[in-house]
Amino acid sequence: MVEQGQLQEISGSLERGEIDGTRYLEQFTRLLAAQIGCTRATVRVFIDTHGGRALRSIAMYDAIQDRMVATEDLLRADSGAYFDRLLHDGCVVVSDTRTDPIVAPFRTIYLEPNGIRSVMDMCFAVNGELFGTFSCEQLNQPVEWTQRQVQTLRKLASRASLTLMHVVNVNVDTAPGALWETSTPNRLATMPIPLDPLPTRSTRST
């Protein structure tokens, strides 16, 4: 399939050392948004916090702005039906975030403030360990996710999850060692993801 070939090309560039881990994540999220046809595509990893398990965003591409953007973590990721659905079905598909109770823990703290009307989250594992999610979000207007979109995300997540361990290995660690956690999910969560610079207005000389 087209998306598989494009993903293999990106993964091959990483394996050959032509791009680094942060560039891989950028190219992957751009590919994900294009193939699914969603507004934003995000890679998140599970981390443990004092308040319970959370999802740390390590790369988000915004198709409207056509650049990588920063976003907040999803707290209470281990609460209620959302986490249960991820564990049982491997994905959470929500067409209308305003009415679906499964995303209620995130509604007032993340979904509504950011205008997110639909979400499709696919969990992935590395070496049999639940690792994080690939997330597709639709802003402003809700969308009915199709079975084809779900299957496309599942296939991309399956292929990309095998590369994440390599992303950790090839990432250049310029931070002090104390900032890096020993577990792979926490190490991924501290990877610096460069954002595309905001466009600057040109000025005319007077």
Domain ranges of the chain: 2-189
pLDDT of res. 39: 96
For the segment 45-66, what is each residue's pLDDT rounded down to a tens digit?
A: 888 888 777 888 889 999 999 9
Residues β-bridged to residue 94 = 119
Pick the CATH number of 2-189 from 3.30.450.20, 3.40.50.300, 3.40.50.1370, 3.30.450.40: 3.30.450.40
Please give the Cα distance from 107 to 167 (Å, whole number): 31
- pLDDT tens across 113-163, in order? 999 999 999 988 766 777 788 999 999 999 999 999 999 999 888 888 777
Cα distance between the two ends of the chain:
55
The residue with tokens 């409207």 is 64
Task: Quick: pLDDT tens for 157-180.
Answer: 888 877 776 574 444 332 323 222
Can you give the pTM of this predicted structure? 0.78
